[in-house]
Amino acid sequence: MANHDVFISYSREDRPKVEKIAHALSQRGLRVWWDPEIKTGAGFRQEIGEALNNTRSVIVMWSRYSVASRFVADEADEGAAREILFPALIDNVDIPLGFRQIQTADLTHWRGNLNDNAFKAFISAVSDGAANARGAPDRRPQPAPAPTEPEPAAKQPPKKQKKPKPPKRAKPPKAQKSAYTTTGSKRRLALFAQAIFMAALIAAAFGALAYTSDFVFAAYRPFFVGAMGILAFLSRYGTLEADRAAGAASLALLPRSYMALILFSLIASAPLILEGRIYAAALEGVQVKGIEGADINGVTLDAAGKRLLTSSDDSTVKLWDATTGVELAEFTQHENWVWDADFSPDGKLAVSASRDLSADIWSTSNAKLIRQLKGHRASVRDAAWSPDGSAIATSSNDKTIIIWDPETGEAVRTLTGHGDRVTAIDFSPDGALLASASGDGNVRLWDWRNGRRVAALSIGGPGNDVQFSNDGSMFAAAADNGKIRIWRTQSRDRLATFNHGAAKAFGVAFANGDKTLATSGIDPVIRLWNIADQTLIAELEGHRDASRSLDSSADGKIIVSGSRDNTARIWDAVTGEELVTMGHISSAISLPMAIDTPPVFVSSRAPVPVDFKKHPAKAANLLGKGVLIAAALLLGALLIKGVLWIARARAIARLVVVTALFAVAAYVGLLIASALPAEALALWLTLAFVPATVFALLRWVWRATILRNFSRRTRKAG
């Protein structure tokens, strides 16, 4: 007779759940054996064997731990042979092959709640099975009875005894399907759907990041990159669970196969980072480092022409030594793009105009904020200090100009009259007049002390810049239609009209004793014009994108230009020679010595940024190039691995692929970190999870479906 109603076979790691199952069965009056206090030693297996032989039903808890246990498999086999097995699945794993035809309770979503429907259904099924077994005969195969001794008198020839037939393996019970049972195919289908959903989510998230990369503010970009990293990690977690369900041998968070996928993806995406939207340009004698989104919007020289301010889309203003190109300070208090900045007459202070609706006054010695000028209702486009230092003027997209007291930060007066955004302002050298250029197509001259408009002149299109000559006798304006016009200050007569040579003109500056006018536009070329005869003197080439701003020194000997290629360049106004180049983004790390970019990763020493919106095929080409590089490296590593494997150096062979990929990825990572900002490095690392996730998904589909079906056909054929 059986001494127990239920015997529970499980792995020690699953004890918390088993304890609740045992308690629930005991509450129903069943005698449960589950070794809660069994002592280790020589007799523990004997005690378990006796309990298993004297039970009416066997529960086996299939988990990630128990499927690998030989003892659990033996105990389950005993229960199946006696047709008293009640299996339950508590983890998403494949049930051992010999038990997959037995209906199994699905407790994968049970978290220990005693009121869980699946849990209660399982307890009821076991209780009913144990109750039915109490009146049923023992199903274990019985040995044949021993033969009886015949009487000595009746001596007969001995009959040939038939050997008892070996016990047949009991067929699994034909249990009806119920709500609490599940099959392996359903489980794999559910996991496949989850993996597809996770991959789609990651692809959509990265697509949204790529689409909005030109529009999000620089201050929020690290947040988006971090969010993508978290999503990528979650995708890996999903594929890890899928691996477990597919019966993967390794449960490590980063097995060698997945590490190889990540490293392969890093190498494959390297050309996209180095030569595409995020790029590094190496010029003669100067390494320029940049990232799209850090366009230089404004450049301003101090009165002596020794220091330079650059204003950028990265929300910073940088102070440079105009002679050496060394960065002296960085002002980082703005929360949005900075359009322009200006020095105070003594050079001790600076004022900067930003898209965050403020103009900030700060010290050029330590980049500390002194006060903020707030009053505009839209982006502040330009800021200028009066020659005597008594006032600051700011212009805005709200169509107004405000005059401020720099000592108190109070608004003195507001100049109105423009019908559109006021994009640029400039004080005359004597401080008597203020000129403004607007999107309404007009340049206005103001008696700013009295708030009176002196003149309004048409420039033929939306205005982008206005500048007085160094002696104050002329002023020039650049328009969106590519035209540049020059007027005499006193008479307001138009002196000259130039066509910059591109669709839009952005900047103007007088140089070389006011004999020369420098112009910039949507093209990367700076053009020098002779004002007297209106002829082109020279074209200064060096920028790789639109030049948005120009300025000149007070003596007119040098010209400075700021560009969307993230550089500011200083030129000799007479010879056109480029003197100094400065980049607006610092690299993530500084190396004691420069490392070279392998030609295989970039097509030139100074790669040009790719506009992926206009040329999507270029992005595909760069990615294809990276995949070919990574594939060639992988193939070479596999060949070396094969040679070592044949040579029986298998311990080394197992590490060849990962080691080779890691070495190349580390070199490329060092190259990117030394040439690009930390943000670019983080984006490169994050992007690597996209193809890695796709590869991991394909790998899982192979293991969970195609390979498994092939294995089953092979077993059937055998």
The C-alpha atoms of residue 623 and residue 618 are separated, in whole angstroms, by 9
Predicted local confidence at residue 229, as pLDDT = 57
Distance from the Cα of residue 134 to its chain's centroid? 62
DSSP character at residue 3: S
pLDDT of residue 246 exceeding 50: no
Lowest average pLDDT, out of 59-73, 261-275, 387-401, 604-618, goes to: 604-618
The C-alpha atoms of residue 176 and residue 125 are separated, in whole angstroms, by 11
Predicted local confidence at residue 53, as pLDDT = 86
Share of the chain above pLDDT 90, in %: 35
Q: Is 54 helix (H, G, I), strand (E, B) or coil?
A: coil
Is residue 485 within 8 Å of 496, Cβ to Cβ? yes
Give the model's confidence band at 161: pLDDT under 50 very low, under 70 low, under 90 confident, else very high.
low
Predicted local confidence at residue 134, as pLDDT = 67
321 C-beta neighbours (distance < 10 Å), count:
14
Lowest average pLDDT, out of 14-18, 351-355, 427-431, 707-711, goes to: 707-711
The tens digit of pLDDT for each residue in 650-707 reads 778 878 888 898 998 888 888 777 666 665 676 677 667 666 666 666 665 665 555 4
DSSP character at residue 279: B
The tens digit of pLDDT for each residue in 577-606 reads 888 777 655 555 555 554 555 656 555 433
Q: Which of 71-75, 201-205, 450-454 has the highest mean pLDDT?
A: 450-454
Predicted local confidence at residue 620, as pLDDT = 77
In this prediction, residues 179-193 reach a mean pLDDT of: 48
Predicted local confidence at residue 174, as pLDDT = 45
pTM above 0.75, yes or no: no
Answer with the residue of higher pLDDT: 495 or 706: 495
pLDDT of residue 511 exceeding 90: yes
The C-alpha atoms of residue 22 and residue 19 are separated, in whole angstroms, by 5
pLDDT of residue 7 exceeding 70: yes
Predicted local confidence at residue 265, as pLDDT = 82
Predicted local confidence at residue 704, as pLDDT = 52
Q: Fold for domain 6-143+170-182? A: Rossmann fold (3.40.50)
Predicted local confidence at residue 567, as pLDDT = 82
Predicted local confidence at residue 621, as pLDDT = 80
Report domain extents, the chain. 6-143+170-182, 190-281+598-713, 331-491
Average pLDDT for the chain: 77
Phi, then psi, of 147 in degrees rounded to 5: -70, 145
Predicted local confidence at residue 436, as pLDDT = 97
The C-alpha atoms of residue 682 and residue 674 are separated, in whole angstroms, by 13
Give the model's confidence band at 609: pLDDT under 50 very low, under 70 low, under 90 confident, else very high.
very low
pLDDT of residue 371 exceeding 80: yes
Place of tokens 């560009």: 563
Share of the chain above pLDDT 70, in %: 67
Question: Hey, what amino acid is at 650?
Answer: R
Architecture of the domain delimited by 331-491? 7 Propeller (2.130)
pLDDT of residue 211 exceeding 50: no
The tens digit of pLDDT for each residue in 247-276 reads 443 334 345 666 787 788 888 888 777 765
Predicted local confidence at residue 373, as pLDDT = 96
C-alpha distances (whole Å) from 607 to each of 271, 273, 602, 604 are 10, 11, 7, 6
The tens digit of pLDDT for each residue in 14-34 reads 888 999 999 999 998 899 988
Place of tokens 């039903």: 57
Answer with the residue of higher pLDDT: 226 or 356: 356
Tokens of residue 689, six digits: 């999870």
The tens digit of pLDDT for each residue in 319-348 reads 988 887 777 888 989 988 899 999 999 999
pLDDT of residue 607 exceeding 50: no
* Long-range contacts of residues 97-106, Cβ cutoff 8 Å, at least 24 apart: 99/60, 99/62, 100/184, 101/172, 102/172, 102/173, 103/175, 103/177, 103/178, 103/181, 104/62, 104/181, 104/182, 104/183, 105/180, 105/181, 106/180, 106/181, 106/182, 106/187
The C-alpha atoms of residue 401 and residue 414 are separated, in whole angstroms, by 6
The C-alpha atoms of residue 7 and residue 175 are separated, in whole angstroms, by 20
C-alpha distances (whole Å) from 591 to each of 587, 662, 674, 677 are 10, 20, 7, 13
- Overall size of the chain counted in residues: 718
Predicted local confidence at residue 176, as pLDDT = 40
Predicted local confidence at residue 420, as pLDDT = 95
The tens digit of pLDDT for each residue in 83-125 reads 889 999 998 877 887 787 788 898 988 888 888 888 999 999 8
pLDDT of residue 291 exceeding 50: no
The tens digit of pLDDT for each residue in 515-548 reads 999 999 999 999 999 999 999 999 999 888 889 8
**Order of strands across the sheet that contains 401-404:** 380-385, 392-396, 401-404, 411-415
pLDDT of residue 417 exceeding 90: yes
Sign of CA dihedral 13, 15, 20, 26: positive
Question: Hey, what amino acid is at 214?
Answer: D
The tens digit of pLDDT for each residue in 116-150 reads 888 999 999 898 888 777 655 554 444 445 455 45
Predicted local confidence at residue 216, as pLDDT = 42
Answer with the residue of higher pLDDT: 122 or 187: 122
Which value, in Å, is the radius of gyration of the alpha carbons in the chain? 40
Predicted local confidence at residue 344, as pLDDT = 95
